[in-house]
Each structure stands twice: as C-alpha cells, then as structure tokens.
C-alpha cells in the first residue's frame, strides 16, 4: 500500500500519517519526490487495512494498493527514475555508463593494462573480481583482499571508479572500503543475509539477475536492499542472461527485459553482454542491442590476453575489439531514436 500526499502536504501532516502507520504496527518508507511525498506502508498484513484508514487523514491525496510483491523498487512507490550518482558519474542519467575490466583480478599489471584501456576509451568504471563465486570449487577463487588492493591502486592511478563482487556477508564492509559499487553475482541474487549485509554498508549495489530467476524475484531481492536504504535508493539492476534449454550460447541473452524493467521499476539498468555470450564473437552485437533497448550502461569483460585468462577468457574482448566496440557505442548512443534517462 502506498499513500500519496498532496503536493502541498506539510511535515506535520506527513508525520501524522507516519504515526498512524506505526500505531497499526507497520513500518514505512518515504519517497520525497520533487512534486510530492509518497509513503509506502510495509508489513505482512497491509492487505487487511482499509484504504480509508489513511484517506481520512489531512494532506493525503490517495491511497493505492501495490498488487506486486515488490514495493520499494516499483514505479508505484517512486514514479521518478532513480539516478545513482557516484562522484560525477550518473547511472541512469543521459550518458551511457561503461564498466569494463577482467573477469578476475590476476595481477597488478593485468589490471593496470585493462584500466588504462578503459580510461582511454572513455569508460567510467573498472570491473574485476577479487572474490570469485565459481561453479566448481576447484576453479580459481580469486586473490581476495590482495585483489581489492590491486583494484584500488588502479583507481588511484586512473581515476576510474571500481565495481567488484561480494560473495559473503562477512566481507561486505571490507569490500565496500575498497570499491565504489558492490556487485551481487547471479548465484547470490537470493542470498538474503548477503543482501542485508551489503545494504547495511550503504554502498551502491549492482544486483545481477539470478541464473533462473523471474523479474518479480529479482525486484523483490532489490527490495531487500532498498528497505535498508530506500530514502537514497542506490540499487542498479544488471541483467546477464538466464538459463534456458538452448545451449548455443552460455546463457540466453535477456535484453528484452530492459523495456519490461522500465515499465515496472525506477531503478537504473546495466547490461552484461559477456556472460550470456560466453564467446567474444557475440559480445559486440549483444552490447549494441542493449543500447538500442535503452540500457543505462554496460559491464564488459576484457583481458590483455584472453587465451591465458584465469576465468571467462572465451568471452573476454581483446583491447582492440573493446576499443572498436567503444567507438561503435559512441555513435549508437547518440542516436536520437534511443531513449535513455527519461
Ligand atoms: C562475473 O561478473 O564475473 C560473474 C561471476 O558474473 P555472474 O554472477 O553474472 O555469473
Ligand atoms: Mn566473469
């Protein structure tokens, strides 16, 4: 249930509504938009409360039931698009945001080489996994804190921002002390203790879609984070392909979800063309397709020598392929037929 206040509602009227919500045993979340304030009523049995309970209060314009299981991520709660601002980079604004780097952090040299290419090509974020959630326990698990230091060093040298994955709740504070965005990997989308732990850091979170999760489950996962930091929402959704019967690519590319998300949520969207492709040949076309669909940005795997990569080499772009793609994206993202940031 959300309560929309009139555009001139006073603080006293807003506080009276909040007091009534609490009296009834519910919690709340405020969205103080430019035009009006919207208050979400949160709790297990909000369906049992008559809308009239709030409609009679001063300053209330209307009370709307949100039928979807996700609330804070919904457009009903927050009709204006969220822009996650980190430094002078705006994710969800007019400019296409590019995040790129290796799948795994392997060495300072490897990361610096990637960072320089990303910077030169006009990217804003360096990506790299220091903690790797590998399907097999025998595969490379990452350099852990040493990897975080390598990323932070590259940030210092290039001015790029850093996005890197957190795989367990006890690392959330440590990773957030090094990174600008915490990535939640596909395998952890429904790891609720992890979602709560990253939310508590108040760092921006890149929430990947689960391998076989519905959009509804994904947005409910976003609500876990938003319920901790909803008054300055800083969740970015990342689609990265889903598991289907078709094995011609590593995952099936779900870029068709972009306009669906636009219809359901105010959160910004980043597209990952690398993991669904599983093969570098498909990555540029997947990336361009997401831009045409209206994505807010891309996260792309690159490597100085993909053949020797410790993880995901087959889908990693060489530097020259990445530079070529960036030049194409530059042209494509200027196309007036593509809408972004509105
Ligand atoms: C990654 O970004 O390298 C990664 C492990 O991605 P995903 O969680 O989407 O598989
Ligand atoms: Mn990877």
Pair of tokens at residue 26: 């519910």
Q: Cα of 157 to ligand 1 centre, how many Å?
A: 25
What's the confidence (pLDDT) of residue 342? 59
Q: What is the pLDDT at residue 122?
A: 98
Side-chain half-sphere of 106: how many Cα atoms within 13 Å?
19
Give the closest residue (by CA) to ligand 1 atom 1: 103
Atom of ligand 1 at shortest distance to CA of 187? 8
Q: CA of 212: how far to CAs of 188, 222, 228, 244, 251, in Å?
A: 12, 16, 25, 8, 10
Mutate to test the pocket of ligand 1, among 101, 102, 103 (most ligand atoms within 8 A of CB): 103
Cα(73) to ligand 1 centroid in Å equals 23
pLDDT for 141 equals 92
Nearest ligand 1 atom, CA 133: 5
CA pair distance 168, 166, nearest whole angstrom: 6
**Which atom, in ligand 1's list, is nearest to the CA of 208?**
9
The per-residue pLDDT for 231 is 66
Pocket of ligand 1 (CB under 6 A): 103, 129, 133, 185-187, 208, 240, 275
- Average pLDDT for runs of 10 along the chain of length 342: 95 97 96 92 91 97 92 93 96 96 98 98 98 90 96 98 97 98 98 97 97 98 90 90 98 97 97 98 98 97 98 98 98 88 64
Ligand 1 atom 8: the closest Cα is on which residue? 185
Ligand 1 nearest-atom number relative to CA 311: 3
């Amino acid at each position: 249930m959300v309560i929309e206040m009139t555009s001139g509602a006073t603080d006293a009227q807003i506080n009276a509504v909040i007091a009534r919500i609490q009296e009834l045993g519910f919690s709340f979340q405020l969205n103080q938009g430019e035009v009006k304030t919207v208050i979400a009523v949160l709790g297990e049995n909000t369906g049992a409360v008559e809308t009239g309970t709030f409609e009679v209060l001063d300053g209330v314009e209307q009370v709307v039931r949100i039928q979807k299981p996700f609330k804070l991520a919904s457009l009903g709660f927050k009709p204006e698009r969220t822009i996650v601002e980190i430094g002078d980079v705006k994710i969800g604004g007019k400019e296409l945001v590019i995040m790129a780097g290796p799948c795994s952090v392997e060495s300072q040299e490897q990361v610096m080489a990637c960072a320089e290419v990303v910077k030169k090509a006009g990217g804003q974020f360096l990506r790299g996994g220091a903690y790797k959630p590998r399907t097999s326990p025998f595969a490379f698990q990452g350099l852990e804190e040493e990897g975080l230091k390598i990323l932070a060093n590259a940030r210092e040298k290039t001015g790029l921002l850093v996005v890197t994955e957190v795989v367990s709740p006890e690392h959330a504070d440590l990773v957030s002390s090094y990174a600008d965005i915490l990535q939640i990997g596909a395998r952890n989308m429904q790891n609720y203790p992890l979602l709560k732990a990253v939310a508590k850091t108040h760092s921006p979170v890149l929430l990947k879609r689960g391998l076989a999760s519905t959009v509804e489950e994904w947005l409910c996962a976003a609500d876990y984070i938003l319920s901790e930091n909803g008054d300055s929402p800083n969740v970015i959704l990342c689609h990265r392909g889903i598991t289907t019967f078709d094995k011609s690519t590593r995952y099936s590319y779900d870029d068709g979800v972009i306009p669906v998300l636009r219809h359901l949520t105010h959160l910004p969207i980043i597209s990952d063309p690398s993991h669904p492709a599983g093969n570098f040949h498909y990555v540029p076309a997947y990336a361009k397709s997401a831009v045409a669909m209206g994505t807010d940005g891309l996260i792309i795997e690159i490597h100085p020598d993909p053949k020797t990569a410790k993880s995901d080499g087959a889908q990693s772009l060489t530097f020259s392929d990445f530079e070529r793609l960036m030049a194409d994206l530059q042209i494509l993202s200027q196309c007036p037929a593509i809408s972004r940031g509105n």
